[in-house]
Amino acid sequence: MIFKQFSRSVLLIAGFAFLSSSAFAQGDAAKGEALFKAKCTACHKVESQLVGPALGTQMEAETDDKFLVKWIQNNQALIAAKDPKAVAVFNKFNQSAMTVFTDLSDADATNIITYVRADWKKIQDDAKKQPSSATAAESGPGSLVIFALIGVIILAFIIILVLNKVIITLERLLLNNKGLLIEEEVVAEKVPVDRFAIVKKLAKNKKLVFFVLLCGTIATGSWTWVTLWNTNVHQGYQPVQPIKFPHDLHAGAMKIDCQYCHSGAYKSKNASIPSLNVCMNCHKVITTTVGAKAPSTEIAKIYEALGYDPATQKYDSTKMRPIQWVRIHNLPDFAYFNHSQHVKVAGLKCQTCHGPIETMKEVYQYSPLTMKWCIQCHKRTDVNMKGNAYYEKMQAVHDLLKEGKPVTAAAMGGIECGKCHY
């Protein structure tokens, strides 16, 4: 009897636990995350407003999941049916029409709701933990403590030197009192010492003087040669740009192709700096850096330069101004370099000259860009003529020369625009 009562109690408790857990586990958060990224990220974020409102606070306040499911699937139908909640939401957000997702089932919409609430809870929990981590990060030794330790070390070193001098003096006094101190040393201490005696003696050594002069001449000549050789070589040059564009994020983490922004690299002499409108292809939606909750100050500079208001998503032409980028890679006026010839014809990657651009937080000049550096590259780079129209044309010209036929300037590319207009 006791066992039966105990088993019933256990089953009853387990039943209540199952019901309570099933009440919270209304959907699959993992499936909801995949659907959210595919359907919702263009207009919504969980933690902040984008085109639409922040979904975390909205779904935390709204507990009627049936309404949320219907709103996600077809909000326009609810508004047309004069549903009070739907009309209130529609008017609250300036009567902005939301995309209709009739292809989503009730289970799909529930999964999205479950994911948003779970992610919002995680964001709130992380926010509560953040102050403690900030406090821990600030608990390191301050600069005052470090300087104090350095001062103590210097003071201890001085004390050791003074004590060592006192000990030597006391030892000499003891030896003098016992008559063990040699008289010549006592007399020598009373005679003034010439501090430059050793220097004068070395200066009379002709071989040593010649060796010192020879080494000095070689060192000075080497320094002069290196200085002149590196004149106008700006390897490592990294100017401060008006916007800190992180190439490691865009080209590295996001794996955006270089020519998406620098579209001129494969078709013209210059790689070209992209206009801010190219940036807005993504940053009209993306307003924060990865992992950040507050709007990015660097993205805000793009908005300011374009006169763009992210709240109204409108441009004010009276506030537009150009961004004054600072050129990093400068070649002399007499040096001709064509990006398309290297990128399209030779098939070189951007990293060949610009270095590991995908790892640079801010771009700097990786290569020296000297004539010697270019010549060495040309010497070790094999030419792939197969399937290359440029070299196939050159091969045809050589065949004409072998046959003794005339070769015109046009056959050598003499009527290409870049021959004159560069």
> Closest Cα partner for 240 from 184, 298, 280?
298
Q: What is the mean pLDDT of residues 68-87?
A: 82
Q: Which residues contact 266 (CB under 8 A, 6 or more apart)?
A: 259, 339, 340, 343, 344
Q: Which residue has the higher pLDDT, 180 or 87?
A: 87
pLDDT above 70 (res 47): yes
Is this prediction's pTM over 0.85? no
Q: What are phi and psi of 315, to 5 degrees?
A: -105, 140
- Over residues 259-273, the pLDDT tens digits come to 999 989 988 999 989
Q: What is the mean pLDDT of residues 227-253?
A: 91
Buried b / exposed e along 214-252 (16+ C-beta atoms within 10 A): eeeeeeeeeeeeeeeeeeeeeeeeeeeeebebbbbebbb
> Closest Cα partner for 55 from 65, 45, 64, 63?
45
pLDDT above 70 (res 409): yes
- Return the pLDDT at 132: 45
pLDDT above 80 (res 231): yes
Q: Which residue has the higher pLDDT, 266 or 10?
A: 266
- Contact, 299 vs 280, CB < 8 A? no
- Over residues 294-332, the pLDDT tens digits come to 788 999 999 999 999 988 889 999 999 999 999 999 988
Q: Which residue has the higher pLDDT, 403 or 194?
A: 403
Buried b / exposed e along 8-28 (16+ C-beta atoms within 10 A): eeeeeeeeeeeeeeeeeeebb
Question: Which residue type sits at 113?
Answer: I
Q: What are phi and psi of 314, to 5 degrees?
A: -125, 155
- Provide the pairing of β-strand 308-309 with 314-315: antiparallel
Residue 10's pLDDT band (cuts 50, 70, 90): very low
- Return the pLDDT at 95: 60
DSSP run (H or E) holding 226:
helix 206-229
Q: Which residues contact 367 (CB under 8 A, 6 or more apart)?
A: 235, 353, 354, 355, 373
Residue 20's pLDDT band (cuts 50, 70, 90): very low
pLDDT above 80 (res 154): yes
**Cα distances (angstroms) measured from residue 99 to each of 29, 60, 71, 233, 378:** 22, 21, 10, 56, 55
Rounded Cα distance, 344 and 337, in Å: 13
Q: How many residues in the chain?
A: 422
pLDDT above 80 (res 250): yes
- Return the pLDDT at 8: 55
- Contact, 368 vs 233, CB < 8 A? yes
